[in-house]
Amino acid sequence: DAKTTQPTSMDCAEGRAANLPCNHSTISGNEYVYWYRQIHSQGPQYIIHGLKNNETNEMASLIITEDRKSSTLILPHATLRDTAVYYCIVRVGSSGAGSYQLTFGKGTKLSVIP
Amino acid sequence: IAGITQAPTSQILAAGRRMTLRCTQDMRHNAMYWYRQDLGLGLRLIHYSNTAGTTGKGEVPDGYSVSRANTDDFPLTLASAVPSQTSVYFCASTARVGTEAFFGQGTRLTVV
């Protein structure tokens, strides 16, 4: 599996954009970048994923550098409910339908401050 | 509501006892996973199953076993529980390559 590196913690003012970086310098060509978050003691929640192009959905935007060695998750207008641990994951390539693992690191603890 | 269900929600277990954590999904997902989460260590993969009938070892498989007799169920068994297995356990599933993972609500296990 390609490894990821994330800052341990970050703060963000409520209403401002939260930019969470992730380094994945050993990513291979067929590996996707996934982002999940975990609020309190709940199960992780999927946010977004991408391969090469930038992606946007109702929750966030994902910016992947051209060399694919790093990415940034952007929460455009952070709210207090966005306080969570955010995980950046690089998915192992598949050898068949549904055949891949999800390996989580320690993530970034984002604190949104009023 | 479709999703992934874990049971029990929490359990206190005497050391040396056998325990099976249950996980069921009704989304017909191919792949399923078991993770444990400990303070300061994040989520660590215990075992996974790419499809019914197959299983694989994750990062921390020792002391745990799994089976995947059908698509929907993926039980995790502790044959002889030890205090170091005190943790929160999460089950997850994914439909196929490139799709999101769904997680259960977790099982909080305390081995005393």
Sign of the Cα torsion B68, B98, A5, B102 reads negative
**The pLDDT value given to residue B98:** 58
The per-residue pLDDT for A104 is: 78
Q: How many angstroms separate the CA atoms of A33 and A25, rounded?
A: 12
Nearest CA in chain B to A85: B42
Tell me which range, A16-25, A95-104, B42-51, is most confidently predicted by mean pLDDT. A16-25
Q: How far apart are CA A98 and CA A27, in angstroms?
A: 20
Banded pLDDT at A2 (limits 50, 70, 90): low
Q: What is the CA radius of gyration of chain B?
A: 13
Closest CA to B47 of B80, B83, B87, B92: B92
Q: Mean pLDDT, to the nearest integer, of A21-37?
A: 91
Answer whether A46 sits within 8 Å of B94, measured CB to CB: no
User: Which residues in chain A have Cβ-Cβ distances shorter than 8 Å to B42?
Assistant: 85, 87, 104-107
> For residues B45 and A103, which has the higher predicted lDDT (pLDDT)?
B45
Query: Under an 8 A CB cutoff, do B103 and A45 touch?
Result: yes
What are the structure tokens assigned to A27, written together? 């990513």
B24, two tokens:
């069921």
Is residue A112 predicted with pLDDT exceeding 50?
A: yes
Give the A:B interface size as CB pairs under 8 Å. Answer: 77
State which residue of chain A sits closest to B38, comparing Cα positions: A106
User: Distance (Å, rounded) from C-alpha A61 to C-alpha A66?
Assistant: 16
* 112 residues of chain B, pLDDT tens digit each: 569 999 999 999 999 999 999 999 999 998 899 999 998 777 888 999 988 999 999 889 999 999 999 999 999 999 999 999 999 999 999 887 557 889 999 999 999 9
Q: Which residue in the set A85, A97, A101 is minimally distant from B45, CB to CB?
A: A101
